[in-house]
Amino acid sequence: MASYIKPVVFSLNGHLFGVDISLILSIEKQVKAVRIPNESPCVEGIINLRGDIIPLYDLKKKFTFAGDSANPADKSIIVIRTKDTKLAITVDSVLHIGDVESANISEMPELAKKPGEEVFDRVANINGKLVVLLNVDAILSKEELSDIEKVKEAANKEVENEQD
């Protein structure tokens, strides 16, 4: 498992999550997404970030959080690098970027893990608040990864055709 020394902490529906800063390519505001018909329910669309076509993924749907209580002005997109692809995730707000002592990081309790799903990696105690640290390589299922690669290929072909 990854060592989480410096996580970027963000909120989703009032819950705190973190991703190791070494896996983050950028944090963006106000990025326009293009919706893709018949796409996986968790994929909001694709974004063009400095010429790179990146899928936009909805963690709220993945984690089955209902509703959207976030202020639209606070929303951000965090672009992460998984072992297989780049992925943009929408978050309600980015709250904290900082060091966490390894003594304040624990394995996720088995009771909190869903069988066959390793996305909830560890938990950190940051200033008295529990932050669930994500294993970014486990966010996408094999089917979602395959679908995303097909969408990226189609989008890249369309961009190439426009340039001709």
pLDDT digits (tens, 9 = 90+) for 125-148: 998 999 999 999 999 888 888 877
pLDDT digits (tens, 9 = 90+) for 56-76: 998 998 888 877 666 777 789
Tell me the pTM: 0.85
Residue 26 pairs in a beta bridge with 79
Burial class (CB in 10 A: 0-12, 13-18, 19+), 7: buried
Cα(61)–Cα(42) distance, integer angstroms: 6
- CATH among 3.55.40.20, 2.40.50.180, 1.10.357.10, 1.10.10.10 for 7-163: 2.40.50.180
Q: What is the mean pLDDT of residues 85-93?
A: 93
Domain ranges within the chain, ordered by starting residue: 7-163
Radius of gyration of the chain (CA): 16
Instruction: Indicate the pLDDT class of residue 153, thresholds 50, 70 and 90.
Output: confident
Q: Write 66-74 long-range contacts (CB < 8 A, 24+).
A: 66/13, 67/13, 68/13, 69/13, 69/14, 70/11, 70/13
